[in-house]
Amino acid sequence: MENTSTKQNISYILRGLVAFLFLFSAVAKLYPSPYFAISTFEMKQLVPLGFSEGLAVYLSRTLIGAEIALGLLLLQPNYLRKIVIPATIALLVVFIAHLLLTIFSGGNSGNCGCFGELLPMTPLESVFKNIVTVGLLFWLYKLLPAGSDRKNYWLVIGIAVASILLVYLLAPIKPQTPMTFEPTGPIPEEAALDTAPSTTDTVITSDVAQPQTPVAATPATTPTPATTATPAKAAPPAAAQGPAQKKSVYSQFFANADKGKKIIALFVPGCDHCRDAAKQLTELRKKNKDFPEMSIIFMDEEAEKIPDFFAEAGAQYPYKVIDVVSFWKLLGNSKDTPGVLYLWNGNIIKEWEGIEGNKFTGAALMKELKK
């Protein structure tokens, strides 16, 4: 009798522990806001695996809903041994296979996304976590006596369906249409926003021919001494003209993006690191009269914070706001904010991203500008 009671207590502990892991994993994937977190999960985890964007929006929500469902179902007694535990083990095995594939193909760097952005983990750390969880579930399976399951099938189905629908309600699927928010406060005339419709689906990198100025024919005349003595004006050196003109994707957002030297920043309004980068850029602009014209592309997460962003940055710049998915496509699924690019005639001369090895610094930008 005492042995049976001990087994029962251990089974309760195991059920609670694994249920907590699944529920915490699901909630973490919804942090700091459901739509932002799920869209980031899609673009950084699912799309790189080969899933289409159309499928990823459904797979992400269904997967997180399944995690919630399994977490809740582990706390109830219906079909626990026959369905719930085997289904939980199967899902973890899929996760382990995905993580091992990620390690073999891309190494053990970056956040695996198992706990979203709330608790970053490397793929290898997550593999060990999942293997331990599978072991706990096998232990739980052996502790539960055969035939101990209750058989309320509709309760199990109801919890599963309700959990998945909850995620779809928390993060409705939105159309990927770029949005433009008019900035508050005055902006210099030369920095006015380009209000033409813009998309980020196509990246255009074809060369654009330089316009040629026609020379009118003039009749031959006998040069005067003054004319003969005046040397022809030398053309500027090729280095001063910059690289060959190209059309960049950023010209879809700002009409002058490909003309001369430009700074394009990709920021999230509520991101502290993005605000620090913006303050550095403002200081550089104040100290250098020839500093390139700067424009910002914001993610629409916390777009209401844009006025506060400019107040903290110390200056206001022309900007566009685009949806989360389009933003990650533009920045790059493997990259992170803040993103800062130095363009010259539409060519990306240098880019910085994230807060680690390739993070933006004012000194690095000035070094590139002086070349």
Among candidates 106, 35, 28, which has minimal Cα distance to 68? 28
Tell me which residue of 279, 298, 295, 303 sits closest to 337, measured CA to CA: 298
Q: Is 63 exposed, middle or buried (0-12, 13-18, 19+ CB in 10 A)?
A: buried
pLDDT at 304: 92
- Of 42, 66, 59, 110, the C-alpha closest to 326 is 42
Between the alpha carbon of residue 38 and those of residues 65, 89, 121, 160, 303, the distances in Å are: 12, 23, 17, 19, 17
248: Cα separation from own chain's centroid: 20
Find residue 320's DSSP bridge partners: 297
State residue 57's pLDDT score: 92
* pLDDT per position as a tens digit, 117-130: 778 888 899 999 99
pTM of the shown model: 0.70
pLDDT-flagged residues of the chain (< 70): 1-2, 176-240
In angstroms, what CA-CA distances link 178 with 143, 160, 321, 337?
Answer: 54, 34, 7, 19
In this predicted structure, what is the pLDDT of residue 84?
A: 96
Confidence (pLDDT) at 240: 53
Q: Which residues pair with 348 in a beta bridge?
A: 343
CATH for 198-205+241-369 is: 3.40.30.10
Distance CA 47, CA 56 (A): 7
pLDDT attached to residue 126: 92
Instruction: Report angle CA 225, 228, 234 to the nearest 5 degrees.
Output: 150
- Give the list of residues 6+ apart from residue 364 with CB closer than 8 angstroms, or none: 350, 352
Q: Using one digit for the tens of pLDDT, what is the confidence trace for 85-116? A: 999 999 999 999 988 988 887 788 777 778 87
At residue 23, the pLDDT reads 96
